[in-house]
Amino acid sequence: MEDNDEMLTRLLTQDINMHFEQLVLAYQDRLYAFALSRVRNAHAAEEVVLLALERAYYALKGYPPQRISLLKLGAWLFEITRNIASNYLRDLRARENRLPSISLDTTEASFGAYLEDPDITPEEVACYNEDRQELEQGIKQLPTNYQTAIQLYYFEHCSAREIADRIGQPVGTVKSNIHRGTKLLHQLLNTHIREVR
């Protein structure tokens, strides 16, 4: 493997565009297995590897040939992948901490799964229905750009980058809309709770 890395590194110093595909073919499966062992989700692991390879490509494009020739290619790629996987897990935890206490999943399938729990009482079903209606009303009161970002982020589990690609907005704008939309939704729900009391 070391010999292959040395050869690949030499090729990359000559022409990154021509030889980057060889790097992808040599490492994508190993990077995927590594990412999967960290994030424990096949879709997320694929996204982590794509981001890692994208970051590696642009880093290599910016490096002079001498710096590329000194890279320990495997260790470098795994380090990039590890960092992106760590960021993914950190963002996931932050996302879970930002969620309102009411479940944001308003799909019928989610509700059906909830009702299948034999320990659920009729009172809990009534509370769930009320919470769900409040959440749906709260989301409808948000500006359209916040509604879209929240729907795709929380319900369809899209990343900010996927949302940006889908709706044609910069990633920063999408992240801002998710953050502001979630904050506004919290305020709307908390105001409603205070009014009911």
Question: For the chain, what percent of residues have pLDDT higher than 70?
Answer: 78
The sign one gets for the Cα dihedral 17, 18, 19, 23 is: positive
Q: What is the pLDDT of residue 159?
A: 86
134 located within any domain: no
Confidence of residue 101 (pLDDT cuts 50, 70, 90): very low
Residues spanned by the domain of 78: 4-96
User: Within a domain: residue 176?
Assistant: yes
| Domains contained in the chain, number | 2
Of residues 38 and 94, the one with the higher pLDDT is 38
Q: What amino acid occupies position 40? A: R
- Provide the 10 A C-beta neighbour count for residue 116: 8
88-101: average pLDDT:
68
Whether 31 maps to a domain, the answer reads yes
At residue 102, the 3 state secondary structure works out as coil
Q: Distance between CA atoms of 187 and 117, rounded to whole angstroms?
A: 31
78 and 153 co-located in one domain = no
Q: CA-to-CA distance for 148 and 171, rounded, in angstroms?
A: 14
The answer to whether the CB of 171 falls within 8 A of the CB of 160 is: yes
| Residue scoring higher pLDDT (74 or 121) | 74
R_g of the chain, CA atoms, integer Å: 22
What average pLDDT does range 51-73 have in this prediction? 94
Token readout for 87 is 């960021």
Is pLDDT of 114 > 50?
no
Query: What CATH number does the domain containing 19 carry?
Result: 1.10.1740.10
Whether 89 and 146 share a structural domain: no
CA distance 97 to 16: 41
Query: Pick from 80, 96, 112: which residue ends a domain?
Result: 96
Instruction: Give me 47's structure tokens.
Output: 């996204």
Whole-model pTM? 0.51
How many whole angstroms separate alpha carbon 1 and alpha carbon 137? 58
CATH at 166: 1.10.10.10
pLDDT of residue 53: 94
Q: Is 93 exposed, middle or buried (0-12, 13-18, 19+ CB in 10 A)?
A: exposed
Domain limit, last residue, from 65, 80, 96: 96
